Structure 1
Amino acid sequence: MAIRKILSIGLLIFVPISLAAEHLHWSPLVIFFTSALAIVPLAIWLSTATEEVALVAGPSVGGLLNALFGNATELIIALVALKEGLVDIVKASITGTIISNLLLVMGLSMFLGGLRYKEQEFKPVVARVNGSTMTLAVIAIVLPAMVIFTTSGVTSGVEQAAIASLSVTTAVVLIAVYALTLLFSLKTHSYLYDVSKVELEEAGADSGEGEHEHKPNLPLWIGVLVVATIAVAFESEIFVGVVEEVTQGLGLTALFTGVILLPLVGGAAEYVTAVSVAIKNNMDLSVSVAMGSSLLVALLVAPILVLVGQAIGQPMDLNFNPFEVVAVIIAVTIANLISLDGRSNWLEGTLLLATYIVLGAAFYFHPA
């Protein structure tokens, strides 16, 4: 995976540059872009280390590791932003990550893969299961907004208390559903999610250190995992520290920043992986990465942020902007329609990308 190697090594130069920019108090715009570019290779190394440890740990533990660390970068950035009180941006980043994975990542994968292969195939049963689970996530996102929309004759305080309670309850349910999806995919119905050992080894070899003739060095990759996680957290502090000032200076709303910009920074590893394996005609893995990442955000990352927000005194609920709700429904609907037949081509990828561009333009011009 040459592109992934180039990004993971070449962009590391921005780590010391961003640290220097922060220490020397360069302009917020320089700090913003250098820290964002620094997060990209760190996210790729974090993803690569997870994959390498997973290869040694075996299918069950490895699958669990990938499930838990698959969106670690997005979670870390969101937690840092939540701690700083940027609740609107955090909420927007949740819907933005779902939208970008379903439309941008799948769209790029199907388009670029379709340019090389006339038609590509993947398991439709996995798409159906993921689609059903995403429907639950959409319901969880829609309901709090509908409660407020249909409520009349109550004070704002009571309304907010009800939404907070509903959000916490929903968060617990979603985490339980995510645990059950892990049981389903790793144990009771693991055969539906099997990607051949050869494909997994090829993906690992492309993203890491060459062919896996021997097991990866477990202590080394655990060390990389720890260091990359700490580095992502540190760079996220720098990035979040200037994101509000810079985006306001550029005339961007918190809604656009959270929905479009943050997912592009935090999801770089997933984007590179999904597109690269699609070009190698492995759409099973590409679709699994894109849809699995969306599920992880909807069923685990968002509930964790709700519960952590309550614990640290930065209350966050699941009452999303109505336009965000509409955008997620659109993304889930079109992704399900295109993926249900288990086949893809460049035109379907174009349709997904066109939808993402139109939604991105709508969020840019939205006055929220």
Structure 2
Amino acid sequence: MSAHAAMPRSAWIFPTLAVLLFAAVTATHYDFTPSTVGLLFAAVLLVILFGTVFAAVHHAEVIAHRVGEPYGTLLLTLSVTIIEVALIATIMLGEKEVPTLARDTVFAVVMIVCNGLVGICIFIGGLQYREQDFQVPGANLYLSVLFTLATITLVLPNYTLTTPGPVFSEAQLEFVSVATILLYGVFLYTQTSRHRDYFIKENADAAEGGAPISSAMLGLSVVLLLLSLLAVVLLSKKFSLVVEAATAAIGAPPAFAGVVVALLILLPESVAAVSAARKNDLQKSINLALGSSLATIGLTVPAVSVAAFTLNKQLVLGLNGQNMVELLLTFILSMLTFGTGRTNILFGLVHMVVFAIFIFLVFVP
């Protein structure tokens, strides 16, 4: 949506409804249970929650038009990461502990983004334009940081000796958290300052990213963005209860909860990325997709680690053998896809097939 267009009603209605819903359940001390009333509440909660997440992304996009690229895409990514951390921490550290949720969600985000979202964007763009171009140096920077972060947080815990099993010791977790934040911070400096041209479409109009909006509209979007993020954080506890009930009702494995959380937080960015691919701006699609993967690992893992350490909860990060094979396949495929600077429908289809395999193996491991 253009920054010049009037603000849609949903952009302020859903954040307002989310705050009102939280106030209502808090005042009445409502506790979700799987019943007719509970199902009705779950439906209302999911609609409001999805709407509020989309509203948050809309306001981030409005602000992004003022600040331009790549800062606009960065703002979108950071906004969604705040929502993700809130949902993961709430479910993982709730009454029914799920120590593997952070691992499952981070892994799901990587698979959904690097295979599902990337595959759909490339496939749709290939159908419409045959081939699409992007900046190879920028893609290589994304992949080098992503592969490193994913390996040290999701694979390395299986092979440390200080503590048995797929967990880091406290010292190891602290060191890895600092390393991931440092690496992500240097990447942001590279993206926004040092090598900003690596992440901008070569033939992009210089004025395209800086569409002017009124100061009043900008201020309103900033307020509503903060309100939307706060509302999602407040409702995350009730959402965690709904996810737990749904997982138990369908007999899904624990990894299902991670996929649900990942899908919720990635949906708005996915819509924006697919829209960009349809407009022949695959560079923006890549910035949104790979940027969200980096932010998920670079920010979510340290934040959840702090929460787990503060509350004295165990944090399981290491993937099982099957998931590590899927991750390795994703790494190799991504290097081939982003190695030439041009894409076509076959690259997209291969990524989509790998994503389908990932989803199938969640339910039939």
Match of 1:169 in 2: 175
Is contact 1:107-1:348 (8 Å) kept?
yes
Distance in structure 1 (CA, Å) of the matches to 2:177 and 2:163: 24
Q: Is there any run of 5+ residues in structure 1 with no aligned partner, and where?
A: 202-210
Is there any run of 5+ residues in structure 2 with no aligned partner, and where? Answer: none
Shift of 1:47: 1.7
Q: Identity of paired residues, percent?
A: 21
Counterpart code for 2:185: A
The one-letter amino acid of 1:240's match is S
**Cα offset, 1:33, TM superposition:** 4.6
Task: Indicate the residue corresponding to 1:233 in structure 2.
Answer: 233
Separation of aligned partners in 2, 1:338 and 1:285: 16
Partner of 1:207: none
Matched residue, 2:257: 257
Q: Alpha-carbon deviation of 1:24?
A: 8.5
Q: CA deviation at 1:101?
A: 0.8
Query: For residues 104 and 59 of structure 1, do their structure 2 counterparts lie closer, same or farther at Cα, with a shift above 3 Å needed?
Result: closer
Amino acid corresponding to residue 351 of structure 2 in structure 1: L
Does 2:115 match 1:103?
yes
TM-score normalised by the chain length of structure 1: 0.82
> 1: distance between equivalents of 2:10 and 2:319?
34
Instruction: Check if 1:275 corresponds to 2:285.
Output: no
Q: Is the 8 A contact 1:82 1:90 kept in 2?
A: yes
Please name the residue that 2:294 is paired with: 295
**Superposition deviation, residue 90 in structure 1:** 2.8
1:40 matches 2:69: no
Closer, same or farther in 2 for the Cα pair 1:7/1:93, shift >3 Å?
Answer: farther
Q: How far apart are the structure 1 equivalents of 2:67 and 2:131?
A: 34
Whether the 8 Å CA contact 1:11–1:37 is kept in 2: the answer is no
Q: CA deviation digits over 1:248-301, x for unaligned, max 9?
A: 11110111331x222111111111000011001100000111111111112221
Which of 113, 133, 139 is matched with 2:125 structurally?
113
| Structure 1 equivalent of residue 318 of structure 2 | 319
Deviations 1:203-229 (A, max 9, x none): xxxxxxxx7465562320111112101
Question: How far apart are the structure 1 equivalents of 2:71 and 2:147?
Answer: 27
1:162 to 1:193, Cα distance in 2 relative to 1, 3 A = closer
Specify the code of the residue in structure 2 equivalent to 1:272: V
Q: CA deviation at 1:61?
A: 6.4
- Partner Cα distance (1:13, 1:69) in 2: 14
Distance 1:60 1:335, change over 3 A: closer
Amino acid at match of 1:165: A
Distance 1:142 1:6 in 2: 44
Q: Specify which structure has the higher proportion of helix.
A: 1
How far off its partner does 1:34 sit? 4.1
Q: Using a 3 Å threshold, how does the CA distance of structure 1 residues 110 and 181 change in structure 2: closer, same or farther?
A: same
> Using a 3 Å threshold, how does the CA distance of structure 1 residues 67 and 249 change in structure 2: closer, same or farther?
closer
Q: Is the 8 A contact 1:43 1:228 kept in 2?
A: yes
Query: Displacement, 1:326?
Result: 2.8
Confirm or deny: 8 A CA contact 1:274 1:286 kept in the other structure: yes
CA distance in 1, matches of 2:290, 2:69: 19
What's the offset of the Cα at 1:87? 2.3
Q: Is 1:285 matched up with 2:289?
A: no
Say if 1:24 and 1:100 are closer, same or farther in 2 by CA, change over 3 A.
Answer: closer
Aligned match for 2:209, one of 189, 197, 200: 200
Contact 2:200-2:283 within 8 A present in 1 as well: no
* In structure 2, C-alpha distance between the alignment counterparts of 1:164 and 1:95, rounded to whole Å: 22
Q: Residue 236 of structure 1: CA displacement?
A: 1.9
8 Å contact 1:135–1:332 — kept in the other structure? yes
The structural deviation recorded for 1:14 is: 12
Shift in Å at residue 6 of structure 1?
9.2
Distance apart, 1:245 and its partner CA: 2.2
Equivalent residue of 2:280, what SS? coil
Question: Deviations along 1:62-112, whole A, 9 cap, x unmatched?
Answer: 566445324222222112213313222232011101111111111111112
What is the root-mean-square deviation of aligned Cα atoms in Å? Answer: 3.3
Which secondary structure state, in structure 1, belongs to the residue aligned with residue 156 of structure 2? helix
Aligned residue-pair number: 347
The match for 1:206 is: none
Contact 2:55–2:225 (CA under 8 A) maintained in structure 1: yes
Q: Quote the offset at 1:36 in angstroms.
A: 3.2
Relative to 1, partners in 2 of residues 1:89 and 1:64: Cα closer, same or farther, differing over 3 Å?
Answer: closer
1:181 is matched with which residue: 166, 187, 194? 187
